Structure 1
């Protein structure tokens, strides 16, 4: 945990340095919309761990690269995660995403650990069907499809794709003014493993609360990642902050605190966000 605390301290030192206006507050967004005849868009704080496919109210031509690195301390092994993600908006309000998430494991006890793998090929889309500058509210629906892949050491044996995950979702976000933001991301996940006849289902509910420093894209906040199944409930609280290092480069730092520590203990996650010029 000392490394996680150190990351937070370093990032906090940069916040005053990067606290410059970038025409991203609500008034600037509205003025830009009126002057350039762009579709309405409301400023919302996007969570860093379970992030959105694209900004709510996305505009044509927007695009973004993400690189994520993380560490989770489990009871019998450490899990190192990495992801590469590209998202873009081909038309107004519609976003697409392609993601490659990796998991590497290091055994910490005499018991075995899962095998290293590229978890899946993840493809997703999201459409913002409601954007209201008057109410400072946005809503969207979307769908994520994951092709689950086998472990690296099984690439020469059997099937490469071992199952599918189907995940429709709904997003609603509200900008309350004075830097206060809230967002709800929720939907079912259906797990279809080819070696099992039954499809499993669990419900994902992610509630988010952030404070964004005025005239910047810097924020601090909390993600509450909750999963419900027939006989289980898990929640991980994720304190986080985002720091704007340059006009097109942001860095997000996340820590994870599980409600129950029977399997997973503390975790840390770093997200690098690069926004190429349109």
Structure 2
């Protein structure tokens, strides 16, 4: 191959790369524009964490709604715990999100551990929540919200109804999210967790600091990322890394896959979690699929 041919091939490859980059940027811009500029009020496209998920999209618009079903498995050395949840979230007015959730946990002993020495199956709680986006800044691709989760904690199935509600959990929180350019997203979700036991009158306070970073794949709602779920509890610090990915399998349906890697928890090993997300009424921009 002579010098002229090499130069022509190099120019062709450079042109193809430039075209691909330009096309990708156009697809990203179209998708962001679809979310942010399709209608009022303002809204910024953010990647939402899959394990500690938001009550509703930041800058939620009236009429948005979503069903979630979650399934998880955690290895606790002496037993496995299986999580299951169903939740419904919706926006009755602009920028206000509401949610109702029913989380279940089931337990299975390991290595001959007696069944009566492990926790009993339970419907953990009835959770109700609200989230208000008080800042939506499109030029800076930044959103902020405050919210509150109230969980009425229920007795396990061995003692169900005696009492029915054994404790109450109060969880105010703050969210700060920013998109960097078109693909990179960061988010902070933090607040205290206050648990009040009705029979003993004990009050237990811990503090959660959940941060996440995601890369949204060009022109899609698919992303790769990681959550850093951190808890301060009576002088102890725990953290779990949760690498994750989200895939859009249809206009209305998304699947999220999460792995849990505890950093310094001696009684817990790796975990896994799958979230199915159904968004009735969602329509994807056709230009993003070309």
Q: State the TM-score bracket (shorter-chain normalisation).
A: 0.7 to 0.9
Larger strand percent: 1
Contact residue 25 and residue 43 of structure 1 kept, 8 A: no
Unaligned stretches of 5+ residues in structure 1: 1-18
Look up the match of 1:91.
93
Look up the match of 1:26.
32
Contact residue 24 and residue 216 of structure 1 kept, 8 A: no
Q: What SS does the aligned partner of 2:269 have?
A: strand
Look up the match of 2:18.
none
Look up the match of 2:206.
202
Aligned residue among 131, 143, 155 for 2:148: 143
Structure 2 counterparts to residues 107-126 of structure 1, below 5 A: 107-109=109-111, 110=113, 112-126=117-131
- The separation in 1 between residues aligned to 2:73 and 2:255, in whole angstroms, is 17
- The separation in 2 between residues aligned to 1:31 and 1:77, in whole angstroms, is 49
- The separation in 2 between residues aligned to 1:210 and 1:42, in whole angstroms, is 15
- The separation in 2 between residues aligned to 1:214 and 1:97, in whole angstroms, is 30
Further displaced range: 189-198 or 221-230: 189-198
TM-score, structure 1 normalization = 0.88
Equivalenced residues, count = 254
Q: What SS does the aligned partner of 1:26 have?
A: helix
Q: What SS does the aligned partner of 1:277 have?
A: coil
Report how far residue 232 of structure 1 moved: 1.1
- The separation in 2 between residues aligned to 1:265 and 1:84, in whole angstroms, is 25
- The separation in 2 between residues aligned to 1:93 and 1:215, in whole angstroms, is 25
Look up the match of 2:244.
240
- Bigger RCO of structures 1 and 2 (CA < 8 A, at least 6 apart): 1
Report whether the alignment pairs 1:273 with 2:269.
Answer: no
Q: What SS does the aligned partner of 1:263 have?
A: coil
Alpha-carbon spacing, 1:23–1:42, altered in 2? closer, same or farther (3 Å): same
- Residue-by-residue CA offset, 1:124-158 (whole Å, 9 max, x unaligned): 00000000001100000000000000111222x52
Look up the match of 1:4.
none
Q: What SS does the aligned partner of 2:34 have?
A: helix
Contact residue 29 and residue 182 of structure 2 kept, 8 A: no
